[in-house]
């Protein structure tokens, strides 16, 4: 039989990605924590974690067990709400959402703001990450929901098309800037490269500078430090910017994804419904 204390130890290590942090949270010594996990692995007859220099990662068996534990917790939370008579009232709990900075800050946060104001007991953990690592976060249960420009056809995730981001070229409207320089978030950011890939009048050579922050990119353009390729929706309310004519806009789809599982908490269901309803409005 699966033991609750062992499952809680497993869940905490899986969510924290660290034996040290898990032992602190559970108020256990690391040897005691290791014994619980070893006993659990003997019960299920599978190794649940791979040890890496960065911490611990779930094995395929560990991922399956984590899904079971999360379903179990979802059922327990809903049972408590029903018993307390709160099933139709205010929601509570933690929801974790990850996306790239332009979507998270300009779309997800304003889309969820009214919902969060209506449910003050809800905790939310926003993570700004590049598209390239979002699916890995979801795969290892580091987040509950991701919103990404990249498609994923894995069978263990549920995916919704939310709309399209329209990328355009912008520059300062008040200062004569460096038109040969394009501002990106970091060296791995392919936005500018993707934009000019099929442009008939693309610059022969592009000089890049890196701001490492979406707001920094916009501020850099305003100061004339260079041009940038940005989603149109991020320019609402921004001053001293103008669209550079002569280029065809680039459209990238936006997907919402979450893990496929049998049970969802009321909070998870509610947040997914709000995002499905409100996020597409930002791309029209």
User: For 227, left (φ over 0), alpha (ψ -120 to 50), or beta?
Assistant: beta
What integer is the mean pLDDT of 259-265?
Answer: 82
Spatial separation of the C-alpha atoms in residues 284 and 281, rounded to whole Å: 6
Strands 250-259 and 145-148: antiparallel
- Is residue 95 within 8 A of residue 124, CB to CB? The reply is yes
Spatial separation of the C-alpha atoms in residues 47 and 40, rounded to whole Å: 9
Q: What is the DSSP letter of 92?
A: -
For the chain, helix (H) and strand (E) counts, in that order, are: 10, 11
Q: What is the pLDDT of residue 186?
A: 85
What's the whole-model pTM score? 0.79
Average pLDDT, the chain: 89
Q: What is the pLDDT of residue 234?
A: 87
Question: What are the start-end ranges of the E strands in 74-194?
Answer: 93-99, 122-128, 145-148, 157-172, 181-184
Q: What is the pLDDT of residue 161?
A: 97
Which has the closest alpha carbon to 141: 258, 19, 279, 6?
A: 258
| Residue whose tokens read 């460096």 | 178
Which has the closest alpha carbon to 230: 176, 171, 275?
A: 171
Which has the closest alpha carbon to 107: 238, 259, 231?
A: 231
Residues 106-118 have pLDDT tens digits of 999 999 999 999 9
Which has the closest alpha carbon to 207: 243, 236, 183, 185?
A: 183
């Amino acid at each position: 039989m699966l033991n609750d204390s062992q499952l809680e130890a497993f869940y905490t290590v899986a969510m924290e990605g660290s034996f040290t942090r898990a032992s602190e949270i559970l108020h256990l010594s690391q040897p005691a924590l290791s014994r619980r996990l070893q006993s659990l692995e003997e019960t299920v007859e599978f190794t649940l974690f791979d040890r890496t220099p960065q911490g611990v990662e779930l094995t395929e068996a560990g991922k399956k067990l984590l899904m079971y534990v999360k379903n179990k917790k979802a059922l327990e939370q809903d049972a408590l709400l029903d018993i307390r008579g709160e099933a139709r009232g205010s929601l509570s709990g933690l929801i974790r959402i990850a996306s790239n900075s332009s979507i998270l800050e300009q779309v997800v946060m304003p889309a969820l703001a009214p919902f969060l104001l209506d449910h003050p007991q809800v905790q939310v953990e926003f993570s700004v990450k590049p598209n390239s690592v979002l699916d890995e976060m979801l795969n290892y249960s580091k987040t509950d929901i991701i919103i990404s420009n990249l498609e994923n056809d894995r069978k263990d995730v549920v995916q919704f098309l939310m709309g399209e981001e329209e990328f355009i070229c912008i520059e300062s409207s008040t200062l004569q800037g460096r038109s040969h320089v394009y501002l990106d978030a970091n060296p791995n950011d392919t936005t500018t490269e993707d934009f000019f890939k099929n442009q008939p009048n693309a610059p022969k050579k592009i000089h890049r500078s890196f701001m490492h922050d979406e707001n920094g990119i916009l501020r850099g353009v305003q100061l004339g430090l260079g041009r940038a390729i940005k989603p149109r929706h991020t320019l609402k309310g921004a001053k001293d910017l103008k669209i550079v004519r002569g280029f065809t806009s680039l459209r990238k789809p936006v997907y919402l994804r979450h893990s496929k599982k049998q049970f969802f908490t009321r909070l998870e269901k509610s947040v997914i419904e709000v995002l499905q309803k409100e996020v597409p409005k930002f791309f029209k």
